[in-house]
Amino acid sequence: MSNYKDLEIYQIAFALAKKVHIASLKLPSFELYEQGSQVRRSSKSIKDQIAEGYGRRRYKPEFIKFLIYAQSSCDETTSQLGMIIELYPDLPDFYELLPEYVNLGKKINCFIQYVEANWKT
């Protein structure tokens, strides 16, 4: 890996953040700057935390710390999506996104375990 963009978890997080951005624009106008803004920020934070952590990969504890931040942002995003689904059940895009974020969370967790066990500093 020569770049954070080579990480599968980054690629997935980036693609999902784009999907969330587009889907959030379908929320009612009064939610664009409330629930919509929050889910956009949390979803984009995942990819950003992965990128920042990768930049600190020489320091294994720092790398792991930022991967845990990415995991936390993924959890926040799933929580936000769950709320949107409850409030706006007629918006199917969010139903499709939720399992994708659950899967991403699992992949981030597996990557954290890999780094903890195998990453050389």
The CATH homologous superfamily of the domain defined by 4-118: 23S rRNA-intervening sequence (1.20.1440.60)
pLDDT at 117 over 80: yes
The DSSP annotation for 13-62 comes to HHHHHHHHHHHHTTS-GGGTTTHHHHHHHHHHHHHHHHHHHHHTTTSHHH
Q: Which residue has the tokens 């799933």?
A: 78
Picking from 91, 84, 85, 103, the residue whose alpha carbon sits closest to that of residue 46 is 103
Q: Over pLDDT 70: what percentage of the chain?
A: 98
The mean of the pLDDT values for the chain is 95
pLDDT of residue 61: 93
**Structure-derived torsion over alpha carbons of residues 49, 53, 115, 104, reported in degrees to the nearest 10:** 20
pLDDT of residue 108: 98
